[in-house]
């Protein structure tokens, strides 16, 4: 197997692992956030449940796959000229967050209650917390710690900040929701 296809496989496995971790985070959230409507309300739950299953699928698109792969899983040759691939990666990342509203960057600068449905935005922030939780399984710490450490850059719409922080705290606690078994 050539080096490039080996790197390609590694990156595919990385995406697959992240998507498995999203499912795990979602299961953990259902345990810890049982009093939140997106857990107990069937209609809201089913929206999020569907999104979770489709999480990050755009990473396999031609716009994202190759630039991401070259950036994070470069061959030796590609690693030597990393700077050359920076702008392609930037463009791919922009494509990713513009097509994936679970990134706060998607919402940055959008007008509340005008450009979109508030229910949609609210649920997207839940998926963002799942994303950070899944990342914490892989890279350590907690989603709350990640948020605290990047507070200066992260811009969450003011109406949702308190909600996001509450979710992060609930996810960071060892305690399962007492209303749920186990
Ligand atoms: Zn994403």
| CA 82 / ligand 1 centre spacing (Å) | 22
| CA 100 / ligand 1 centre spacing (Å) | 6
Asked if residue 111 belongs to a domain, the reply is yes
| CA 5 / ligand 1 centre spacing (Å) | 23
Asked if residue 47 belongs to a domain, the reply is yes
pLDDT for 87-112, tens place per residue?
A: 999 999 999 999 999 999 999 988 76
Which structure tokens are listed for 148? 């605290």
Asked if residue 91 belongs to a domain, the reply is no
Asked if residue 33 belongs to a domain, the reply is yes
Q: Calculate helix-pair angle for 65-72, 3-32, nearest 10 degrees.
A: 100
Asked if residue 90 belongs to a domain, the reply is no
Domain count, the chain: 1
Asked if residue 25 belongs to a domain, the reply is yes
Q: How many CB atoms lie within 10 A of CB 141?
A: 14
pLDDT for 37-92, tens place per residue?
A: 999 999 999 999 999 999 999 999 999 999 999 999 999 999 999 999 999 999 99
> Residue range 134-143: average pLDDT?
96
| CA 166 / ligand 1 centre spacing (Å) | 21
- E-strand ranges in the chain read none
Whose tokens are 């309300």? That residue is 41
Asked if residue 87 belongs to a domain, the reply is no
| CA 103 / ligand 1 centre spacing (Å) | 6
Asked if residue 72 belongs to a domain, the reply is no
| CA 28 / ligand 1 centre spacing (Å) | 19
Domain limits for position 36: 3-56+100-172
| CA 159 / ligand 1 centre spacing (Å) | 22
**Could you tell me the pTM of the whole model?**
0.92
| CA 56 / ligand 1 centre spacing (Å) | 5
Quote the radius of gyration of the chain (alpha carbons, Å). Answer: 18
Helices (H), 63-117: 65-72, 76-80, 82-99, 104-107
What is the pLDDT of the chain when averaged over all its residues? 93
């Amino acid at each position: 197997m050539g080096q490039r296809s080996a790197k390609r496989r590694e990156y595919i496995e990385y995406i697959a692992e992240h998507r498995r971790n999203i499912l795990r985070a979602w299961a953990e959230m259902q345990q810890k956030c049982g009093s939140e409507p997106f857990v107990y309300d069937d209609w809201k739950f089913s929206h999020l449940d569907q999104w979770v299953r489709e999480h990050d699928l755009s990473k396999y698109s031609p716009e994202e796959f190759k630039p991401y792969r070259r950036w994070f899983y470069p061959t030796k040759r590609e690693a030597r000229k990393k700077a050359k691939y920076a702008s392609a990666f930037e463009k791919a990342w922009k494509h990713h967050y513009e097509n994936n509203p679970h990134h706060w960057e998607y919402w940055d600068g959008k007008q509340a209650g005008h450009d979109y449905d508030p229910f949609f935005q609210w649920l997207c922030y839940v998926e963002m917390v799942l994303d950070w939780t899944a990342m914490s399984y892989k890279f350590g710490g907690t989603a709350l710690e990640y948020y605290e450490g990047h507070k200066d850059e992260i811009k969450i719409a003011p109406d949702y900040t308190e909600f996001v922080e509450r979710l992060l705290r609930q996810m960071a606690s060892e305690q399962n929701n007492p209303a749920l078994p186990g």
